[in-house]
Amino acid sequence: MRQRFTARAVVVGDRAGTVVPDAAVDVEDSRLTWVGPAADAPDAGDAEVVAVPGVLLPGLVNAHSHAPMVLFRGQAEGLPLARWLREVIWPREARLTPDDVEVAMTAASVEMLRGGVTTSVEMYFSPERIAAAVGRTGARAVVATPLLPLPGMPLLAEQLADAVALAAAAPGDGAVEYGIGPHAAYTLPLPVLRDAAAAAREHGLLLHLHVAETAGEGADLLATHGLSVPALLAAHDVLGGRVLAAHSVHVDDGDLELWREYDVAVAHCPASNAKLASGIAPVRAMLDRGVRVGLGTDGPASNDGLDLLADVRLAASLARLREGSATALTAAEAFWLATGAAADAIGRPDLGQLAVGRRADLVHVDVRDLLFEPVLSPPDVLTHLVWSGTSRLVRDVWVGGRPVVRDGVCTTVDAEELRADVAERAARLASG
């Protein structure tokens, strides 16, 4: 099938912040075959023509999420991370069923699609049910099977073997990919992290873990081992291959140098880090050093949203406050962190930009709104998107050229029915 999209402008999602006014985008067999000014486009032939009045963006890529945690949204308001986990989240998760995960992920996936997020990296229980959920909504996911020493879960070696087997059985069609998600160095024995990393390298899988999220986590490990968390991971052969470290808030120059040396990517989660008062990650220093960085929402119980576009603005704001400089992160760079840079960070060069050869994940934002005026030159569209835009203006979304949101409504599943189901399950999990 061939499609020709035309729009007032296309935002490419590259580092430079390229905006193409009066643009056309051609899609064939779910891939982009042409992107540029409509006036220069090749003959559309028999392609289906989709003329949108607004701006086309690449589908946003959420580099770190535990989306089924919509079940716990708003719970434990005001608690710091350690108490939040121990007193509220873990007791509820102990009662969680695979059906709960699938329903919650389906609802969360709709929420993300409606906000223009077409791909998310998920780390949560029942990974095969997360895959089933995005199969229903039509989104994409990289699902890192969690490794955690919790009561009622199999031995860690068994969890790892299951994670590898699950990844091997996936169809490899670009919709769902599995990785390995050893939770963190402060929750798992180091030999388990080393074995998980070796397995991920052997099979080319994403290894996704939390690193240096809070100051306390690093101090405890430093006191025990005499090394920072990144140095500890390097010393135990955890780095190398396709590693994605969520957070990396409490890292110094030496740690960032290790990230560069081993090409470790960072999933930067500004909203979660702010809400839990974890700190502000040194994003400018990471980018200047050539470390790959993508933006993540983290779970919707610590954000509390899955609204990546809102986090783009927050990332730019916090980077500027941290550095005391209005140029510490430009609007173009901030948007790139949720698109092209995020795709690079998760090791998926087929996503994240409107560029020939990539997958046709497209988001139409209605810019017929005062929030998007005035546009005196093409880059103003991107500036408005970051500083005054809102995901509420996302009108239509296509994944691989297939429509999944039309006029603000998900076309693949019933969002209203899911909301009621999530509310009921969340009440059950909370009542214990």
Site for Zn ion, rule CB under 5 A: 298
Q: How far is CA 11 from CA 21, 163, 352, 353, 386, in A?
A: 9, 37, 11, 9, 12
The nearer residue to Zn ion, 230 or 299, going by C-beta atoms, is 299
CB of 411 to Zn ion, least distance (A): 30
CB of 296 to Zn ion, least distance (A): 8
Tokens at 124, concatenated:
């949560």
The nearer residue to Zn ion, 206 or 397, going by C-beta atoms, is 206
The nearer residue to Zn ion, 177 or 298, going by C-beta atoms, is 298
CB of 244 to Zn ion, least distance (A): 11
Tokens at 322, concatenated:
């941290």
CB of 64 to Zn ion, least distance (A): 6
Direct distance between the N- and C-terminal alpha carbons of the chain, in angstroms, rounded to an integer: 51
CB of 199 to Zn ion, least distance (A): 21
Task: Report the largest interatomic distance among the alpha carbons of the chain, rounded to a whole angstrom.
Answer: 67
Cβ atoms 245, 223 nearer than 8 A: no
- Single out the residue of 124, 162, 115, 160 nearest to residue 142, CA to CA: 124
Q: Residue 283, Cβ neighbours under 10 Å: how many?
A: 26
The nearer residue to Zn ion, 67 or 360, going by C-beta atoms, is 67
CB of 66 to Zn ion, least distance (A): 6
**Helical ranges in 324-368 per DSSP H:** 331-337, 340-345
Tokens at 295, concatenated:
């933006």
The nearer residue to Zn ion, 228 or 303, going by C-beta atoms, is 303
Q: Residue 41, Cβ neighbours under 10 Å: how many?
A: 16
DSSP 290-310: T--EEE----TTSSS---HHH
CB of 52 to Zn ion, least distance (A): 34
Tokens at 308, concatenated:
């990546």
The nearer residue to Zn ion, 244 or 287, going by C-beta atoms, is 244
Q: Assign residue 324 a region (left: φ > 0; alpha: ψ between -120 and 50; beta: otherwise).
A: left
The nearer residue to Zn ion, 109 or 272, going by C-beta atoms, is 272
The nearer residue to Zn ion, 298 or 304, going by C-beta atoms, is 298
CB of 185 to Zn ion, least distance (A): 14
CA 16 to chain centre: 21
Q: Give the bridge partners for 51, in sequence order.
A: 6
